[in-house]
Amino acid sequence: MEYTLREEVIEQLQLILESINIIQERNKEIVTVSDYTSSTWGMTVLDATLMRIQFIGETASSIDKKTHKTLFENYPHIPWKQIYSMRNYISHQYADIDPEMILVTIHKHLPPLQHTVKQIITDLKSTIA
């Protein structure tokens, strides 16, 4: 991967990590769906979380296109296509979003994504040196 593209991809991956960290921080008090749905504040947290998840999917898709689908294939344990699909679902089916699905995403799917994105950044930085 050419140097400028590598640097751009690293920056985008760091933005994904930032969004994951923000989602985790904002949702640390959210335990059940009713924590979202029973208050205006909960709904605000849910809306903000959805925007961050949407951003993660959009950014990951952009990276995949820029790298001609060659970067993420090295990390097949992450369901990249599902990440892009979730972005599309949030964008086009917003009214149908199930808050339970979002909780599962935060607790089950974000930690391995976070770990893998950190690993990708490390791997890309090691090829620069």
- Which residue bears the tokens 């205006």? 40
Question: Where in the chain are the domains?
Answer: 3-128
With bands split at pLDDT 50, 70 and 90, how would you rate the model's confidence at 71?
A: very high
Q: Average model confidence (pLDDT) for the chain?
A: 96
Confidence (pLDDT) at 129: 56
CA 6-12-18 angle, to 5 degrees, is 135
Tens-place pLDDT, residues 11-54: 999 999 999 999 999 999 999 999 999 999 999 999 999 999 99
